[in-house]
Chain A
Amino acid sequence: MTPQKPAIKKLYALSNEGRKFPFVLPLKNVIRVNGRDYSVELREDEKYGVHVLWKNRRYPVEIVRTKQNRYEILFNDISHTFTVETPVSMQRRKVLGAGRKKNSSLVVRAPMPGKIIDVMTRDGAEVVRGEALVILEAMKMQNEIQSVVSGTVTRIGVKAGQNVMKDDILAEITVK
């Protein structure tokens, strides 16, 4: 590995909902909420596994997924997804984001292994946010896989009756 280039002084955690959490490096065991600092501590032991100590209480922590700078964190059993950006990557993101707004496409993947019971849409169909795309049966339950965006279906990856694995592509939607 090449040695670190100019030292990074700040990092930003960007939530899926677009909220920005700045942190100064070196990272201290402190979070800042509404202008007040609170101390937090990350710990691990045999009984509880990894956990956070905050206001004299333990909270469970799990890292569900990490992919490059993207992290899904389960904190107190609730999932939060962040990308962590440096000041430089933050700037690049803004530039890229501006040019990428239109015609981006979204790939809908199977959230779990199961069987496709029904396909509720078709190639070329317009869908709105929240509309059912397919019905996926897993663990005796039928789950409606809904579109999280409004747009046009450009591809259907499955047929009724087909078994799918987790992360198999169900549909592709071009965002309006």
Chain B
Amino acid sequence: MKKLKRILIANRGEIAVRIMRTARKMGIETVAVRTAVEPDAMYLSFADIIHEEDDEMAEIPVFLDVEKLISIALKTKCDSVHPGYGFLAENAWFAEKCRDNKIIFVGPSPDAIYKMGNKPVARQIAMKHKIPMAMGTPGSVASEDEAVRHAARIGYPVIIKAASGGGGRGMRIVRQESEMEKMFILASREAEKAFNDPSVFIEKYIENPKHIEFQILGDTLGNIIHLGERECSIQRKHQKLLEEAPSPALDDELRAKMGETAVKIARAVGYYSAGTVEFLLDSDRNFYFMEMNTRIQVEHPVTEMITGIDLIEQQIRIASGEELSIRQEDVRLTGWAIECRINAEDVQAGFAPAPGRIEKISFPDEPGVRVDTGVRAGSSIVASYDSMIAKLIVTGKDRHEAVINTKKALDKVWIKGTKTTLPFFRMLMRNHVFQAGTFTTAFIEKDLEKYHNSSEYEESIAAWIATKLFVEENLSETKSGINFEQGRELTPWLLRKRLTQF
């Protein structure tokens, strides 16, 4: 066992802040890297040591530069590196290089990262251990007879897909054997017309699935437990927007079954550290292994809130060789937690990124509300990184209370300077399907007509503001003295107006 003394944080933003908070609590020093794009970033003020990195002319960000990070770790005498999420967090080579240089990588072994990161390898391992998966045909299917045979093995419903296709064309869902012949011919013909290639293959069709993932913790001595699930079905274009724990779709029995399966997969690759096993859950409560994420997840706080376990602390303890002090039977899920990812995105323009400078930012400071953020007033959301402003994590004794508390907390979040995803979450908390908890991964893109709600009152007030502005700029001799620009550059037009009014 080797207690960590100094960790290099190979990341930025809220996760860098998050890791440093726990490190400080544990009496471990941290080193953060200052980059040219964010020289005044908030995470720097949480570090014990700041490494100045002149990367203005660098081709790739320092957080993706394996050689550079290793040399920084050695130079600043770090005994360990925490990769956070994104960047090099799931890069087996980085983990390997750390090991070569006798730096502890706070995460799983390079071997586990490689195995779970490589889809065919991960599928093979899962298959060998009889983990349920969405089965498919290995190659294309030649005839309807062959299709019937495969479908019988896989189980209905199945989906026929064009081998060279995409975009929904050449796809046919088959619910029973009697439909297969007709559907096979249709799909094949459609595929030929659309892609000049009639070949099709067959896959298990998972109807309206939920995205459910399990949090895993394992130590280097072979102990592996799960900390329950997270419900991540609220997503758009495979980007998660909101997560909660536990999931309204699971009961204790299903939780135990899925949890055991997740542990089994982790065990199959000799997993240690924190990891996440992702499943699809269909409406008949069948679940299918999708993939394993070999890192701390963005949405880890919801698990922390209902288990009372600090996952970063566990990662650090495991990395230093400690034995897990929590046994499976000690894990208790208490209450409910919801996380909203408040991003600098324009909900009204299809969630387009809306980079900008944060002018004002404040969050409710009350029990049951946790905010993980890496920005403060004056920070910029830069185009080179992700658009996250903050994660708002709200708890309640049950789901109903958590939703009500989230609704209240959202109304108290105050962010100025960029458009944010706040209107989306405020709408979502008032949506009946969301409140009922019956949504699937298709909910946001298929079932929702609008991504925000605005009342007649709100529109009237906005109209009044526009009119007031017009009056001040064009008609009025007396000024209210309100400075609307707030640090923004004046438009030439406004500037001219100002000058002519002097």
- A, B in one complex: yes
Question: Measuring CB to CB, which residues of chain A are less than 8 angstroms from any residue of chain B?
Answer: 1, 4, 8, 11, 13, 15, 19, 21, 23, 25, 27, 31-34, 38, 40, 42-44, 47-50, 52, 54, 58-69, 71, 73-80, 82, 84, 111-114, 138-141, 143-144, 146
- Choose one: B355, B419, B457, B463; the contact of A80 (CB below 8 Å): B463
Residues of A close to B328: CB separation below 8 A = none
Within the assembled complex, what's the spacing in Å between the Cα atoms of A75 and B453? 12
Q: Which residues of A contact B480 (CB under 8 A)?
A: 42
Interchain CB contact under 8 A, A67 and B466 = no
B458 beta carbon closer than 8 Å to chain A:
yes
Majority SS of interface residues in chain A? strand
Bound-complex Cα distance A44 to B409 (A): 23
Contact of A78 among B352, B386, B423, B491 (CB under 8 A): B423
Inter-chain contacts of B349 with A (CB < 8 A)? 111
Check A63/B485 contact, CB under 8 A, given A13-B467, A68-B493, A77-B423.
yes
Chain A residues near B387 (CB, 8 Å)? 139, 141
Q: Mark B356-376, 1 if CB is under 8 A from A, else 0.
A: 000110100000000000000
CB distance from B379 to the nearest CB of A (A): 15
A-B contact pairs, 24 of them (CB 8 A): A1-B501, A4-B475, A11-B467, A11-B470, A15-B463, A19-B459, A27-B467, A42-B468, A54-B457, A62-B416, A63-B469, A63-B485, A66-B473, A67-B493, A74-B419, A75-B462, A75-B465, A76-B423, A79-B348, A138-B353, A138-B383, A139-B385, A139-B386, A139-B387
The distance in angstroms between the C-alpha atoms of A170 and B360, with both chains bound, is: 33
- What are the residues of chain A within 8 A of B417 when measuring CB–CB? 62
Are A21's CB and B416's CB within 8 A? Answer: no
Interface size on B, residues (CB 8 A): 57
A60 adjacent to B482 (CB under 8 Å)? no
Q: Mark B460-502, 1 if CB is under 8 A from A, else 0.
A: 1111111111110101000011111110000101100000110
Give, as a whole number of angstroms, the nearest-CB distance from A35 to chain B. Answer: 12
Distance in angstroms between the alpha carbons of A113 and B382 in the assembled complex? 11
- Smallest Cβ-Cβ distance to B460: which chain A residue: A31
Q: Which residue on B lies nearest to A69, using beta carbons?
A: B470
Q: Does B415 contact A (CB under 8 A)?
A: yes
> Shortest Cβ distance from A25 into chain B, in angstroms?
7
CB-CB under 8 A from A65, the residues of chain B are 491
Are B362 and A47 in touch, CB under 8 angstroms?
yes
Q: Is B178 an interface residue (CB 8 A)?
A: no
B-to-A contact residues, CB < 8 Å:
239, 346, 348-350, 352-355, 359-360, 362, 383-387, 414-417, 419-420, 422-423, 452, 454, 456-471, 473, 475, 480-486, 491, 493-494, 500-501
Cβ–Cβ contact B458 & A139, under 8 A: no
The complex places the Cα of A160 from the Cα of B297 at a distance, in Å, of: 33
| Given A8-B475, A31-B457, A78-B423, residue A21 in contact with residue B483 (CB < 8 A) | no
Add 13 more A-B contacts to A21-B460, A31-B461, A114-B383 (CB < 8 A): A13-B466, A19-B459, A27-B468, A49-B359, A60-B415, A66-B469, A66-B491, A66-B493, A73-B465, A76-B458, A138-B383, A139-B383, A143-B350
CA distance A133 to B468 in the complex (A): 37
Once bound together, how far apart are the Cα atoms of A97 and B466, in whole Å?
A: 22
> What separation, in Å, do the CA atoms of A73 and B456 have in the docked complex?
15
- Whole-angstrom CA separation of A60 from B458 in the bound complex: 11
* Contact indicator B493/A71 (Cβ below 8 Å): no
Q: What is the distance, in angstroms, from A84's C-beta to the closest C-beta of chain B?
A: 4
Task: Identify the closest chain A residue to B464 (Cβ).
Answer: A31
Instruction: Name the CB-closest residue of B to A72.
Output: B466
The answer to whether A49 touches B459, judged by C-beta atoms less than 8 angstroms apart, is no
The answer, among A40, A114, A143, for a CB contact under 8 Å with B461, is A40
User: What are the residues of chain A within 8 A of B483 when measuring CB–CB?
Assistant: 44, 50
Contact B348–A71 (Cβ < 8 Å): no
In the complex, the chain B residue whose C-beta lies closest to that of A14 is: B463
Is B355's CB under 8 angstroms from A112's CB?
Answer: yes
Quote the shortest CB–CB distance from A53 to chain B (angstroms). Answer: 10
User: Which residues does chain A contribute within 8 Å of B464, judged by CB atoms?
Assistant: 13, 21, 23, 27, 31, 40
CA distance A59 to B415 in the complex (A): 11
8 Å CB contact of B482 from A33, A50, A75:
A50
Inter-chain contact B355/A139, CB cutoff 8 Å: yes
Q: How far is the CA of A33 from the CA of B461 in the complex (A)?
A: 10
CB neighbours of A113 from chain B (8 A): 383
Asked, given contacts A74-B419, A78-B348, whether A48 binds B463 with beta carbons under 8 Å apart, the answer is: no
